[in-house]
Structure 1
């Protein structure tokens, strides 16, 4: 069974960022930056592929929102999405 990781997309201050959380490592987390709009499903999938990952079978993106300033209902919203992913395995003969 392949090791699974969590990929996150955050939209903050007009900038989108996708990164894969690699726990128990000192390596930098793989990261991809988007423009100012919320990335589509296709854009997120392509970004994961560029980073060498793909969603695990049956996984779906789960969206939530947070605020930049905790406890302030007038604070700008921060959108966060998460999905379970695994590294793409190289196929023999390719």
Structure 2
């Protein structure tokens, strides 16, 4: 089963990664807070954080980035998504 990992700079500015799991309330999604706003966590750090949550990138998956903002002068919030699966292929 494939899930989606999300990597974002939260509204407080700290970077976080979490895994969207269907049928589970968002408050219970697995998450990791990097506890910093700079520097942006590297690919290796994101991979390690996902492994700590029990997930790995799905075959052929790559991070897809997008910018979110409510106005042209507002602070931009970055969001990336990656298809992931439980480590070992268990669902």
Counting matched residue pairs gives 85
What 5-or-longer segments of structure 1 have no aligned partner? none
Higher strand share: 1
Is 1:7 the counterpart of 2:9? The answer is no
* 2:6 counterpart SS class: strand
TM-score (norm: length of structure 2): 0.86
Q: Which residue of 1 aligns with 2:32?
A: 32
Larger radius of gyration: 1
Q: Which residue of 2 aligns with 1:60?
A: 62
Q: Distance in 2 between matches of 1:21 and 1:33?
A: 15
Q: What is the CA distance between 1:16 and its match in structure 2?
A: 0.5
* 1:89 counterpart SS class: helix
Higher helix share: 2
Q: What is the CA distance between 1:14 and its match in structure 2?
A: 2.3
- 1:38-57 alignment runs, 5 A limit: 38-57=40-59
TM-score (norm: length of structure 1): 0.83
Q: Distance in 1 between matches of 2:46 and 2:19?
A: 12
